[in-house]
Chains A and B, each alone.
Chain A
Amino acid sequence: MGVLDGRVACITGGTRGIGLAIAKDFLNEGAKVVVNGRDESKAERTLAELDAGDRVHFIAGDVKVRESCEAIVDGTVEHFGRIDILVANAGGSSGNAPVADLTDEAMQDALVWNFWHTFWTMRRAFHYMIPQQWGRVMSISSVEGKVGKPGLSIYVVSKHAINGLTKSAAQEVGTLGITVNALCPGAIETDTMIEQGPPAAESMGMTYEGLLDMFAQESAIKRLNEVEDCAAVATLLASDAGAGITGSLISIDGGTAPY
């Protein structure tokens, strides 16, 4: 018996990294899970890794497109009959640069990828969760949703925006059986980090190794976080025991954020 028996979850960007770890944990706790990825090519590998039979379903869609975000949520309901848990997990940034050199396109892209995607999926999920008077919405924000780093303003801005959205939405649905929270992990060396880290480091005037070391040194644990850290917190928030936790920006950062 799991703490998520009978629950249906939808995870954007769930084919690898944090999203995949959350999917594994949710499946272990008895949930049915929709994982999303940009294209069908990742579906086979992801479903094979999750190995959960008909309790897991893949929906392709680009989270930078509103119709796709809404289709991922709608598709979850069409396939499993309901949606109880939304994890707005996809995100990242490219074209990082100091503000003086930043392009409009890079700022816009990060906002769409991180913030608008969270808003679009949250809004759609609320349409199902409010009538059923039960729901869990969580976004994968970042320690950069609480602090700021030079050269990463597009990421920092979009994660701060997610945290604001989380607080407001939590107040709106607080008496409706729905919680809204943000997980704020420290740096984790996911595939996304391996792809996006080197150019981000360059924009900060350092090497990729230097970037990872800087994040580690800022923490109390002097090492990076791990995807499983986020999965454990996500499962708690998704469970019945998480009913009294909402509007929270939970630091999963080895002691990095000051609050």
Chain B
Amino acid sequence: MGKLDGKVACITGGTRSIGRAMAEAFLAEGGKVVVNGRDAAKGQQCLDEMAAGDNAAFFAGDASKQDAVEGLIDFTIERYGQLDICCLNSGGVQMTAPVAQMSDEEWQLEIDWNLNQVFWGMRRALQHMIPRETGRVIVTSSVEGKLGKPGIPGYAATKHAVNGLVKAAAHETGTLGVTVNAILPGLIETDIVRATGPDSAVAMGLGSYENLIEAFSSESAIKRPNTVEEVAAVAVLLASDAARNITGCMFPVDGGTMPY
């Protein structure tokens, strides 16, 4: 018997890294999962690797676009008849730059990808969850939702904004059987960090990717990056019945990095 037997989840950016780890953890606890990603080939590969048969499905779409995010919610409900757990996990930066060099286009992308995605997905999910009086919204935020590193102003700004959205929505839905929480991971060596890390390191004045990893690690108490499995374990907890009274929480998975 799993902690999520009979529950249906969807995950933006679920084909790899944190989202993928959440998907696998949810499946292991008896849930059904729809994962989302931009690339259909990667989606199929993800489904093949998870080998969960009818309990998993893929929905192709760019999580920085409203129709894709809302489409994921609608597809999940159509496919499995309900949506219990909405994980708004996709996000990142395309081009790191300090504020003085930040382009409007990059700024808008980060707002769409990191903030509007969460708003679009949360709104659509709540419209389904509130009448059912049950639901879990879990947002992958970041330590940068409380801090602010040079060179990634859009990321820090949008993650701060997401945390505010989570708190407000938690108060709106607190008596309706729905919880809304954010998980705040420290640095994790995901595919996206490996891909964008070298440029980020330069923008942040750290020189190399190795220095970037070292800089984040040294700020933590554990002196290492976090792992996707550590985030997934918290997501399972927040998705489970046991967490019915935890809402509006900024749940840290950061090895002791944030001061509050």
Contact = CB atoms under 8 A, between A and B. Distances in A.
Contact of A247 (B174, B221, B233, B234): B221
Interface stretch (B31-39, B112-120, B223-231): B223-231
B240 interface: yes
B175 interface: yes
Nearest to A222: B175
Interface string A224-259: 011011011100100101111111111111111011
Nearest to A233: B237
Given A171-B221, A174-B222, A174-B223, A251 B242 contact: no
A221 B259 CA distance: 26
Contacts of B251: 250
A236 B234 contact: yes
A243 B230 contact: yes
A30 B123 CA distance: 40
Contacts of B246: 229, 233, 251-252, 254
Contact of B170 (A244, A245, A255): A255
B174 A236 contact: no
A248 B256 contact: yes
A246 B256 contact: yes
B174 A219 contact: yes
Contacts of A222: 174-175
Contact of A245 (B167, B230, B242): B230
B247 A221 contact: yes
A175 interface: yes
B121 interface: no
Interface in B4-61: none
A245 B221 contact: no
Contact of B174 (A248, A255, A259): A255
A125 interface: no
A254 B226 CA distance: 26
Contacts of A226: 245
Interface residues of B, number: 40
B33 to A, nearest CB: 19
B229 A241 contact: yes
B248 interface: yes
Given A221-B174, A249-B260, A254-B174, A244 B245 contact: no
A255 B249 contact: yes
Nearest to A186: B245
A228 B237 CA distance: 12
Contacts of B256: 167, 170-171, 174, 246-248
A232 B243 contact: yes
A1 interface: no
Contacts of A256: 248
B252 A255 contact: no
Nearest to B171: A220
Contacts of B233: 236, 239, 241-242
B243 A250 contact: no
B72 interface: no
B249 A250 contact: yes
Given A174-B223, A229-B242, A259 B250 contact: yes
B56 to A, nearest CB: 22
A244 B230 CA distance: 6
Contacts of A241: 229-230, 232-233
A23 to B, nearest CB: 16
B227 A244 contact: yes
From A174, A221, A229, A253, residue with most partner B Cβ within 10 Å: A221
A168 to B, nearest CB: 10
Contacts of A171: 221, 256
A255 B243 contact: no
Interface in A164-190: 167, 170-171, 173-175
Contacts of B247: 220-221, 254-255
Contacts of B234: 236, 245
Nearest to B232: A241
A249 B250 CA distance: 10
The 5 closest A-B pairs by CB, nearest first: A174-B221, A220-B174, A247-B256, A255-B248, A241-B233
Given A174-B255, A245-B252, 9 more contacts: A167-B259, A175-B223, A241-B230, A245-B254, A246-B255, A247-B257, A254-B246, A254-B248, A259-B146
Interface of A: 167, 170-171, 173-175, 219-223, 225-226, 228-229, 231-233, 236, 239, 241-256, 258-259
